[in-house]
Amino acid sequence: MILFCLGCTERVNHHELRIRLQEQLKYSHTEENWFVPMKVALQNLSPEQVSWKGGTQNHSIGELVSHLIFWNEMYLKTLNGEDVSDFEMKNDSTFMVYSARDWNDVMNKLDSIQIEFGQWIENVSQEDLEEEAVDILTMTSHNAYHTGQIIYIRKQNGWWNRK
């Protein structure tokens, strides 16, 4: 009887892991929980705001989004078994500047990567999910960290109105 109960608990925990990872992905992308998700942080920005650096060496909002796209896409490609050895993995080169006309495409790409992550979590084997769980949580934390930077830039410049 005890072995049977432990087996049930293990299955529940496996199911819980998938649910918790999906939640964390949603919280960092679209659904507000303890912090503002990136999709909300990036709403209603003008091209000038996306490119603003304030005369400092700090990254612009657009550069931060570029960085997020790069690392999220590389990790997703790795999860999907794609070869990423041809990509330059120097962190500084991930902060690209986009033109105003490219911004909508950039936002769509960021969304599609996050949606693909959700699909991967939903469809992957339990074994692969368990193997990648910590890295997935690290990625969502990384996304939340840079989302906080984006919000800071917006607040610093009076571009953040939550009403």
Residue 134 has pLDDT above 90, yes or no: yes
Are 122 and 22 in contact, with CB atoms under 8 Å apart? Answer: yes
What is the arithmetic mean of pLDDT over 103-126?
93
The number of beta carbons lying within 10 Å of the beta carbon of residue 124 is 17
Residue 72 has pLDDT above 50, yes or no: yes
Those residues with Cβ within 8 angstroms of residue 148's Cβ, 6 or more apart along the chain or in another chain:
35
pLDDT recorded at residue 145: 96
Residue 111 has pLDDT above 80, yes or no: yes
Domains and CATH numbers, the chain: 2-156 (1.20.120)
Q: Which of 68, 74, 65, 144 is nearest to 98 (CA)?
A: 65
Tell me which of 96 and 125 has the higher pLDDT: 125
What is the arithmetic mean of pLDDT over 9-15?
58
Listed as own residue / partner, the contacts of 85-93 with beta carbons closer than 8 Å and 24 or more positions apart are 91/67
